[in-house]
Amino acid sequence: MTDTTHSFSRPFGISLRTVMPWLVATIVLLLLPFVFSANSTITVMNQMAITIIFALAYNMLLGQGGMLSFGHAVFMGIGGVFAVHVMSYVEVFGAPLPLPLLPIFGGIAGLIFACIIGSFSTRQAGTVFAMISLGVGELIAACSLIFVAFFGGETGVSADRTYGLPVFGVEFLRQSEVYYLIAGWLLLSVLLMYLYTRTPMGRMANAVRDNPERAEFLGYSARWVRFYSFIFSGFFAGIAGGLFALNYEIMTTENMSLVQSGKILLITFLGGMGFFVGPIIGAIVFTLLTTVLSRYTELGALYIGTIFVLTVMYCPRGLAGLLMMHEPAYRLGKLRLLLAPYLKLVIPGTVAVLGSAAVFEMLFHVRHATPGQHEMGLFGITFDSHSPFAWVIAIGGTLAAMVITRKLIPQINDAWHDANTVEGGAK
């Protein structure tokens, strides 16, 4: 109760506390290329930043507006394709457009297109909206193969970002220059999207999500509220598309396919759609996970799918929800009570997860390696994937770790209870 009165009594209060996270984020973004200076790392960071913007835009619909979309990649795709066309226009006609302003055009394309689609799709929320988004997504993805002049067909459209005007001598030839450009847009978009959630419009989007009928009784049109959420979301998805175009200099049909739309749903849900930071966490974790997994295994998609299904079943509030669960304990100042049980869990938990992965890898190797190839490497060890000894170790170790993990759960429960009650653990 005190929390709400506090936030409403100073709606526009700018204090050190509210500005602090943004300052820290700015400094971190500025320093990151110095810490990780390898080109490949910067590529991953660029990808991460673009995904963050897209995921936040998507969460504007899913988390804040309660609209489940299966075709949101379309807006990013169209924004990106439009940005590519603008880029080639600049190249051919020498229009005086500095490159850093390019994503705006992507955003505008996304906005206009969202206005068209939203005019009929936002009439209803829930299943109808989800189905229309799926249908429109498939339609546009199919059209992108038919209308070659705009979408470029199967090869996609591409342009060269370096032919534009240099901005204060920067030509965006190097990855790190592009990184700073993307990071700047990231900060700006995240700030704008955050401020949007604080506006009356953002609040009404939440109200319509929770109870559209009541919102209508208060005099707001649920449909228009959904429409505005939809077009703003389309705008930011378009900006993400513009940045994507700028970073990769190519847009293909793949960028607007259902697979892409599903991925962003996965990211947003994994991070936690109920929190503003959720999609940010989701995008960072997902990008890191896919990068790492693709380097070491062929089964990355299987692991990610498993993680996703487990998240939906056991932790529907996502990673952010998992973090936020600790807030009461933090307020009581008892977070340290949880530290020891968590540390105890780390080793058996890690062994259980890695062990199950090892069993899958061995199974995969036995089934799909070239015939006669019995030698496989895993975690830096080379062994015979057909020897029973290796299987006994893998399965036995995994099961033992699982049993130990299970044994530790009551301890965690006790510690959890102690940490979340005022008098708990006082002895």
Partner 1 sequence: MDLILVNLIDGLVTGLLLFMLSAGLTLIFSMMGVLNFAHASFYMLGAYFGYQISQYMGFWMALLFAPIIVGIFGAGVERYGLRRVHQHGHVAELIFTFGLALLIEEAVQFFWGKSQVPFMVPEALDFALFSISGNAIPAYKIFMIFIAIGIFAGLLYVLTKTRIGMIIQAALSFPRTVEALGHNVPLIFMCVFGVGTALAAVAGVIAGPVLGTFPGMAFVLGSIVFVTIVIGGLGSLWGALFASLLIGWMTTFAASYNVGLAEILTAIGISKPVDMANSPWRDFWQITLSQIGPILPYLLMVLTLIFRPHGLFRKGGL
Q: Which residues bind partner 1 (CB under 8 A)?
A: 62, 66, 68, 70, 120, 123-124, 126-128, 130-132, 134-136, 138-139, 142-143, 146-150, 258, 262, 265-266, 269, 299, 301-302, 305-306, 308-309, 312-313, 316, 360, 363-364, 367-368
- CB nearer partner 1, residue 39 or residue 119: 119
377 token code pair: 């490497």
- CB nearer partner 1, residue 138 or residue 249: 138
Q: What's the min distance (Å) between Cβ of 163 and partner 1?
A: 21
Per the CB < 8 A criterion, the answer to whether 419 and 335 are in contact is yes
HEC secondary structure over 137-195: HHHHHHHHHHCHHHHCCCCCEECCHHHCECECCECCCCHHHHHHHHHHHHHHHHHHHHH
- CB nearer partner 1, residue 313 or residue 381: 313
Q: What's the min distance (Å) between Cβ of 46 and partner 1?
A: 26
- CB nearer partner 1, residue 161 or residue 226: 226
- CB nearer partner 1, residue 99 or residue 157: 157
Q: What's the min distance (Å) between Cβ of 228 and partner 1?
A: 20
Q: What's the min distance (Å) between Cβ of 299 and partner 1?
A: 7
Q: What's the min distance (Å) between Cβ of 150 and partner 1?
A: 8
- CB nearer partner 1, residue 135 or residue 328: 135
Q: What's the min distance (Å) between Cβ of 252 and partner 1?
A: 17
